[in-house]
């Protein structure tokens, strides 16, 4: 498979298509409109290392077939099935358990994150809690319960046979960020850089900063000229996480772009793996835009639409507006 020879597609409904696991998938109308309005976003990564779809699924493969792309340029159904397994939050739960065991650092959060087949009351040791369905994106399929009565109202949604992720809802969060990678055909895992973004409490996308790595690292761990000892300790922990991801992601069958979402709390602790997005994402898009336009740029990426979606960079922030 050589995905970098394919025309690029912006298909953010792909995570929902992975959940459906069918060749003929029709997203909700609002998502269809978003994909149509923001189709020009694909021009940002077309012709680059990342060329191809935003994400792979059986539905994406079928879409390329309808475009006349030969099967030998497309991934096999077996490869997509494995990608679907990796993209499930169940895999992320297993991944973080091993990570926390191997790195064994008290500054790392996520010990409460686990995969559940049913709502077991013994797991609900404290509120607030966050629940996530296996495949979802930008806040869809993510639920927060801050009281037992709220949890009771969610019980029907959490009774699906596929299971769900449960984690502590970190009210002390002060920063959303991610590590961005690319896995090459020879299984080399390249660290592309950090991305820093803003999301709602339930994960709905806000914006990404389009800034240099130095500027983004300053947002993550502060100013090197401040508490230099604390800076070095946090930077060393992040370097250990990067090395861990490079070693363990190389063992997967996936090849292509991916991002690992993380958060930091007010006391400086880090949740190292909220989820793993085995696909193109807004963080990598922000890295590409910075490479081309520098920090604090302002530009229109898709046509402005008074009654639709539009993408732009405004004073160094990558925005999707409606």
- Going along the chain from its start, the domains and CATH numbers come out as 3-107+171-321 (no CATH), 114-168 (3.30.1490)
Helix residue ranges per DSSP H, the chain: 14-20, 29-37, 58-66, 77-87, 89-103, 148-154, 213-221, 228-249, 282-293
Provide the pLDDT for residue 123. Answer: 61
Phi, psi angles (nearest 5°) of residue 310: -150, 150
Mean pLDDT in residue range 195-217: 91
- Rounded-to-integer distance, Cα 284 and Cα 197, Å: 11
- Rounded-to-integer distance, Cα 162 and Cα 25, Å: 19
pLDDT at 318 over 60: yes
Angle (CA) 267-269-273 rounded to 5° is: 150
**142-188: pLDDT as tens digits:** 888 888 778 777 777 776 677 899 999 998 999 999 999 999 999 99
Do the beta carbons of residue 17 and residue 56 sit within 8 Å?
no
**123-141: pLDDT as tens digits:** 666 778 899 989 876 667 8
Provide the pLDDT for residue 227. Answer: 60
- Rounded-to-integer distance, Cα 158 and Cα 162, Å: 9
Residue 203: both structure tokens together: 């994960």
Whole-prediction pTM: 0.93
**37-61: pLDDT as tens digits:** 999 999 999 999 999 999 999 999 9
């Amino acid at each position: 498979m050589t995905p970098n020879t394919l025309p690029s597609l912006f298909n953010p409904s792909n995570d929902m298509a992975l959940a459906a696991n069918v060749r003929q998938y029709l997203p909700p109308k609002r998502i269809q409109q978003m994909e149509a309005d923001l189709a020009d976003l694909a021009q940002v990564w077309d012709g680059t290392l990342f060329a191809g779809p935003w994400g792979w699924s059986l539905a994406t493969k079928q879409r390329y077939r309808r475009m006349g792309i030969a099967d030998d340029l497309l991934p096999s159904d077996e490869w997509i099935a494995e990608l679907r397994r990796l993209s499930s939050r169940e895999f992320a739960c297993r991944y973080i358990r091993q990570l926390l065991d191997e790195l064994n650092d008290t500054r790392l959060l996520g010990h409460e994150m686990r995969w559940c087949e049913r709502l077991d009351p013994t797991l609900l040791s404290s509120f607030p809690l966050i629940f996530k369905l296996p495949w979802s994106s930008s806040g869809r399929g993510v639920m927060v319960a801050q009281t037992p009565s709220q949890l009771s109202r969610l019980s029907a949604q959490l009774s699906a046979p596929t299971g769900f992720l449960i984690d502590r809802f970190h009210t002390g969060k002060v920063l959303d960020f991610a590590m961005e990678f690319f896995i090459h055909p020879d299984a080399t895992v390249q660290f592309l850089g950090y991305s820093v973004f803003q999301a709602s409490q339930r994960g709905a996308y806000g914006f990404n900063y389009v800034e240099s790595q130095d500027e983004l690292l300053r947002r993550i761990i502060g100013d090197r000229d401040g508490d230099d000892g604390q800076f070095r300790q946090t930077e060393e922990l992040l370097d250990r996480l990067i090395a861990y991801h490079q070693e363990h992601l190389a063992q997967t069958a996936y090849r292509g772009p991916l991002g690992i979402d993380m958060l930091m709390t007010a006391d400086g602790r880090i949740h190292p793996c909220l989820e793993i997005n085995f696909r193109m994402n807004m963080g990598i898009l922000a890295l590409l835009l910075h490479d081309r336009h520098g920090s604090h740029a302002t530009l229109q990426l898709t046509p402005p639409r008074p009654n639709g979606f539009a993408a732009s960079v405004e004073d160094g922030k990558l925005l999707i507006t409606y």
